[in-house]
Amino acid sequence: MPKTINVKIGDLFKPINGNSKYTKSYCNDHSGKYVVYTGTTIGVFGKVDHADYTEPNLTFTTDGEKAGTLEYIQDEGYCIGGHRTILKPIKDNLYMVYFKYILQPVFYENVKRGDVPSLHFNRIKNIEIPVPIKEEGIYDINSQKEMAEKHETVYLLKRKLCKKMKELESQNVQLNLENDVPTKELSLNDIIKHHNGNSKYTIEWCNNNIGDIPVYSANNNKPFAYMNSYDYCGRYLTYSKNGCAGFITIIDGKFSINGDRCVISIIDKYKETICIDYLKWYLEPIFRANKKGRMGINGKNEYTKINSTMIKKLDIKVPFPINNEGDIDFLKQKELANKYATIDYIKNEINSKINELVQIKIEQ
């Protein structure tokens, strides 16, 4: 392994912010062949008749759902618009492809969350990163290139694995209810209510009201805190609104939720006839398919969202099995839900093994 030293990002690069003049209107008025790169890393924002840059540059998105995403632009000519910053090297012997791989996880980890995620240079300039160095103290560009090739190889393999994970997740088991049993279709909007969590339930608030009642947030697996009172008592469907959005968790007992989670309750008319386990397995793939936001690096984390307004607009129709009398069949729902649960368990086991491979890191 090459010898490395830790160096502050601000001692290696200076930021050059994009030019906010490059609006859609400006691009239309100065149409040409040179791409304008802005905050988005998907598609082309616009093209103009002149180029501000003719050499490769390492850049990152500063605002929006793609905040912190690095891109190494190598076009012969291009422009940089708003919501994007160039990382201009201020030292010799720096290989940009190496730094793209080294910096990407650091940038994602330091994105400032909120309604509009953001990452600006001042936030990361004092963070130290490893840089290969020669005995005489010169940055070792050949070692950087060798490491970049290894990162590229691992990245391509991980991307294939992540694609397989995504394909596996998308392979939702569609039980052919129409052939198996007669069904009755109901609009989701007519049978449930959404109950948003209480945003006052922060860690600090819970610590000041400590108890043994769990408080659930965006995490789909465990409570984020405990307090001395509860807002719900019973067995409910809940879904994460932020983070890994759209996953549905059934919570049973006394609990509360904060603003990053939502509770679903069945309206009184259908409480005795609708099985929430069946509803979970039917709705979760639909919620996940309609989330908005950015998936995380190597498939590990994501920064997505979904809320009741988005769900209501989907106007989801749910097919429920019915019995010979034409009534919704609760026991058949339960039977189907158990089949979903078994298949989901198998999928999770496979995904877990893939995820272990995806998380492998190159030793620096």
Residue-by-residue pLDDT tens, the chain, 364 positions: 678 999 999 999 999 999 999 999 999 999 999 999 998 756 678 999 999 999 999 999 999 888 999 999 999 999 999 899 999 999 999 999 999 999 999 999 999 887 788 999 999 999 999 999 998 889 999 999 998 888 888 777 777 776 766 665 555 555 455 556 788 999 999 999 999 999 999 999 999 999 999 999 998 889 999 999 999 999 999 999 988 899 999 999 999 999 999 999 999 999 999 999 999 989 998 999 999 887 654 444 567 899 999 999 999 999 999 988 889 999 999 988 888 777 766 666 666 655 655 555 555 5
Query: Residue 17 pairs with which residues in a beta bridge?
Result: 85
- Which two tokens mark 24? 């859609």
Q: What dotted CATH number matches 174-358?
A: 3.90.220.20
**Each residue of 9-34: b (16+ CB within 10 Å) or e?**
bbebbebbebeeebeeebbeebeeeb
Sequence-distant (6+) residues with CB within 8 A of 337 are: 275, 277, 278, 280, 281
The pTM assigned to this predicted structure is 0.53
Pairing assessment for the beta strands 70-73 and 57-61 based on DSSP bridges:
antiparallel
Phi, psi of 138 (to 5 degrees): -90, 140
Give the distance from CA 284 to its chain's centroid: 16
Whether the Cβ atoms of residue 336 and residue 321 lie closer than 8 Å to each other: yes
Angle, in degrees to the nearest 10, between helices 330-358 and 276-289: 40
Residue 113 half-sphere exposure toward CB, CA atoms < 13 A: 10
State the residue for tokens 């691009």: 27
Q: Which ranges in the chain are annotated with CATH 3.90.220.20?
A: 4-117+127-166, 174-358
Which one of 1.20.120.80, 3.90.220.20, 3.40.50.300, 3.90.25.10 gives the CATH number of domain 4-117+127-166? Answer: 3.90.220.20
Whether the Cβ atoms of residue 12 and residue 90 lie closer than 8 Å to each other: yes
- Which two tokens mark 142? 């050949």
- Find the Cα–Cα–Cα–Cα dihedral 199, 105, 108, 132, rounded to 10°: 130
